[in-house]
Amino acid sequence: MSSFGLLAAIWPLTTLGHYVSWHVIQISVANLIVIILMVVTFIVALFAPFPGRRRRKENP
Amino acid sequence: MSTTEIDRQWTTRLRKRVAGKLPPEKLLPDTQPTYVSSWIYVFGVTTMAALGVVIASGCLLALRGPQWWHTSSVGHFVNSLHLWSVEIFFFAMVIHLWGKYFMAAWRGGRALTWMTGVVTFLTSIATAFTGYVSQSNFDSQWISTQAKDGINSTGAGAFWNVLNSGQMLMWHIVLLPIAAVALTALHVLLVRIKGVVPPFEKTTEVTQ
Ligand code: HEM
């Protein structure tokens, strides 16, 4: 099996997409995952320590 | 030429105006305020870097054309590079936008910075959509026939025809990228002119 064939076996792209339906909202699983990743990245960006940043001392 | 005549020249006036608004040390500064040392400030430049890869890979696609990007493995690779850099571009742009929204980064005369961002966002969406219909495969045929009814219902179909693959390709590879890059340049220059917006003042009194 070619590496493409193997990849296609693990991750079939020719089948119908998967969807999440909730009342009037319908979104593909792929899009939902991307949105969740964006929210997670946003939160991490706010709280992860930035390299080289010196912590402010209590009494300067 | 008298000095008053020199002062009236448009070259002199423009130079003085540009140098006054954007001196070299403001355009390419040595340091930034401490509040800028946070990951949230990295997403603007990530967006720009991704845009660079989008343009470069798009130029490679243009060199060889659709037969190449549909049939050869190198062509597939460059095609994927183009698609995935677009994904990173939008991913980073949206986080950048959220960050600026919660910082209210339009404060202090930065409305134009925000608005150029908004217009760049809309232009980028149009660029992506024209890209989907420029793939030259069944997917692009399907997308354009689905899109035409929507576009026609707005009336824009009279001069902007999504079924016209030549027109869509020209918009995708000429007009919209020029607009997106020009707007991005303007956006970043505005950021440099104004400097990065300071955080909110503390308003609540701390009781001891
Ligand atoms: C092609 C898309 C874009 C690129 C390449 C881009 C790039 C940048 C860069 C490099 C900065 C300065 C560094 C930073 O704070 O991240 C910046 C600042 C800013 N961006 Fe964007 N941006 C884009 C889209 C947007 C969008 C969609 C919005 C909002 C609608 C936006 C709003 C702003 C604002 C208000 C600032 C000023 C921030 C401040 O003064 O602190 N940008 N942008």
Residue B106: name the closest of B187, B28, B179 by CA. B187
Residue A36 lies in domain: 17-46
Hey, which residues does A25 pair with through a beta bridge?
Answer: A22
Q: Is the pLDDT of residue A35 over 90?
A: yes
| CB of A38 less than 8 A from some CB of B | yes
| Helix (H) / strand (E) containing A20 | strand A19-22
| Residue A55 domain-assigned (yes or no) | no
Q: What's the predicted TM-score (pTM) here?
A: 0.89
**pLDDT score at A60:** 46
Per-block mean pLDDT, blocks of 10 residues, chain B (208 long)? 88 95 93 93 98 98 96 97 98 98 96 98 97 95 95 93 96 98 98 94 68
Cα B168 to Cα A5, B58, B183: the distances in Å are: 33, 15, 20
- B34: chain A residues, CB-CB within 8 Å: 53
- B40: chain A residues, CB-CB within 8 Å: 42, 45-46
B160 and B129 Cβ atoms separated by less than 8 Å = no
To the question of domain B107-199 being in CATH 1.20.810.10, the answer is yes
Q: Average pLDDT, stretch A14-21?
A: 86
- B91–A37 CB contact, under 8 Å: yes
